[in-house]
Structure formats: structure tokens, C-alpha cells
Amino acid sequence: MEELLMTTESFHQAVVAGGSGLVGFPLVETLVSQGIQVRVLSRDPSRVSLPQGATAHVYDDLPGVLEGADAVINLAGASIAGKRWNEKYKREVLESRVGITSQLVAAMARCASKPRVLVNASAIGFYGPRDGRCITESDASGQGFLPSLCAAWEKAADEALKFGVRVVKLRSGVVLARSGGALAKLALPMKLFQGAKLGHGQQGFSWIHLDDIVGMYIEAANNPSWSGPINGTAPRPLTNETFTRLLGAQMHRPVLPIPSFLTEMGVKVLLGEMASEVLEGAFVYPAKALELGYKFKFEKAEDALADLLG
């Protein structure tokens, strides 16, 4: 992943919250490989597996952990897809993401030497389901749980602007990785010769390869031209049906012609309220990243799938 780094200002120390997850671990690994000192914030450092060279710290050590850091990268929060949604779990997701962001920002305000930048995770769920047109950073927030969650999350991060910290809000799409995450769940039924489009299949599927989202986080921390909301998606979003067919072709498995109402019913039974996030979608385009000169390693889904599954 080293070739993805496009440094434009000195960058020596970083604090990463949520540094042991799907994106966090390879991000920390890449930062360490670049010679950057990385401190990882964790609720329970004794249970966190980190790349050699990174150090784990508890949130109770704030703001001390932030002193001297050039950048804070915040990926922390309960998984949106970790459990079936109910009111209790939705509150947990909201409070963990917004709460940790507010805690970090409050700690920055107390630092004698404040970090230059906060790169805060967000998601394309900000936009909610949309029609077939391309969505860019200029589009407003949608309606529903995920849009309201992302809007509150980003608002908490923006509080750091009040004391001169540059804020980048990286709205990630579906992250495709070799192990874990969405791709493993999508590939399982295909392995069992049960792969099919979900619902009508024409909903937008906005994805990004793990290498590229890691590269975008690092570039956002390094490059002072990056600020505000930036879509963390590949520049070629697809329909769910097209992605499913590409996945089947890569895995040499057929895509079954299951009627849309049956797959829709199955997703609703399995996921409950969360099903609407799978059965609806948006075609999200990374307009700002491209304008700022970011070079994607994987622009086409077929190339990403070949790399991850080939």
C-alpha cells in the first residue's frame, strides 16, 4: 500500500481510534511502515492486536495521548451491521460513534499543542437511498436512521473547526477486502451456488477496495487541500445486479434467476429494518477526491475482485 501515499506536508505522529478493525488495522500497518509513530486508542488495549511498532492506549489517557500528534484518525464506533437493528442497538451505534467523536474533539480542545487535522470516518449512508443519478459531496443528507446518524457524526467532528483543526469527513462506501467485511458475506452464497441479485437489482452499489480507502485516509491526513466531506468510493459505482454478476464470474459460479420478490423477502426476514439499506442504494461518485488528484488503484470492480479473490 506504500505507493498510495502522496505526502504534501511533514507527518510524523498519528493517533488512530478504532485501529484494529477491517480498515483500521491495515491503516495502522501502513502508517507504521511509513515510519510514522502511531498511538491507537482502545477501550481495552489488552485485547487489541496491533502491528509491531504501534502502541495501544485507553481513552482515559486523553488528552495526553493527543499531545504532539500531527493527525487524529477516528474510525471508532459500534458496527452498523454488527447486530439486527432494534431501538436499543441503534442507540448504541449512534452513541458510540457520535460519543467517541465528541470525546476526541473535547480532548483536542484541551491540548497545548493541538493536532493539525481530524480525519473522521463517515459513510455514504449520509445520502440515503437515491435514484439512478450520480451523487456527489454537494448532495444533501437523506432521510432515515443512517442519514441522521452520519449527519450527527459529522456535526460532532466539525466542532474541531472552532479551534483551528482541519476536519475531513470520509464518507466510505462498501469496503471490499480479502477477509471479513461485506465481500465475505456476499461471496458465501455464491460459493454455495446460491448467488442471486438482491431485490430488483438496479439499486446503486458504491464500493471501494480496501487499499484505496486506506490510501484516502492517509492522503486526507497528509494533504492540507483535503477538507470537509469526501466520498470514499471508487469512481465506477455499479448496480447490485452487475456487481453480483461480476462476483459470480470471478468465482466461476452461476447467478441464479431467483424472482426479485423472493430475495427481497429473504433479506427482510434476515435483516429486519436494516434490509432497506441493502435493497436500496445510491450511485455515489468521489468527485472531490478526483478533483484533488487522488489516483485510485482500483477503479473497476472486476479488477478489485480479481485482486481480492483471484
In tens digits, the chain (310 residues) has pLDDT values of 444 444 446 679 999 999 888 999 999 999 999 999 999 999 888 888 888 889 999 999 999 999 999 999 999 988 887 777 888 888 999 999 999 999 999 999 999 999 999 999 999 999 999 888 899 999 999 999 999 999 999 999 999 999 999 999 999 999 999 988 889 888 888 887 788 888 888 999 999 999 999 999 999 999 999 999 999 999 999 999 999 999 999 999 988 877 776 776 776 656 566 556 666 899 999 999 999 999 999 999 999 999 999 8
Instruction: For residue 243, give the 3-state DSSP assignment.
Output: helix
Under 8 Å between Cβ of 84 and 129? no
User: What's the Cα-to-Cα distance from 35 to each of 2, 25, 26, 54, 132, rounded to whole Å?
Assistant: 11, 16, 14, 11, 43
pLDDT at 277: 64
pLDDT at 3: 44
What CA–CA distance (Å, rounded) separates 274 from 252?
29
Under 8 Å between Cβ of 113 and 263? no
Q: What is the CA radius of gyration of the chain?
A: 19
In this structure, which CATH number among 2.170.190.11, 3.40.50.720, 3.30.990.10, 3.30.70.920 belongs to the domain 11-309?
3.40.50.720
Query: Which residue from 91, 103, 152 is spatially nearest to 123, judged by alpha carbons?
Result: 152
Q: Quick check: pTM over 0.85?
A: yes
Q: Where does 165-237 show beta strands of DSSP type E? A: 166-172, 174-176, 204-205, 207-209, 228-232
Q: Angle between the 87-109 and 145-158 helix axes, to the nearest 10 degrees?
A: 10
Cα dihedral 62, 171, 190, 145 in deg (nearest 10): 90
User: What's the Cα-to-Cα distance from 266 to each of 154, 186, 199, rounded to whole Å?
Assistant: 33, 14, 9
pLDDT at 269: 58
Query: Which residue from 62, 172, 40, 145 is spatially nearest to 109, judged by alpha carbons?
Result: 62
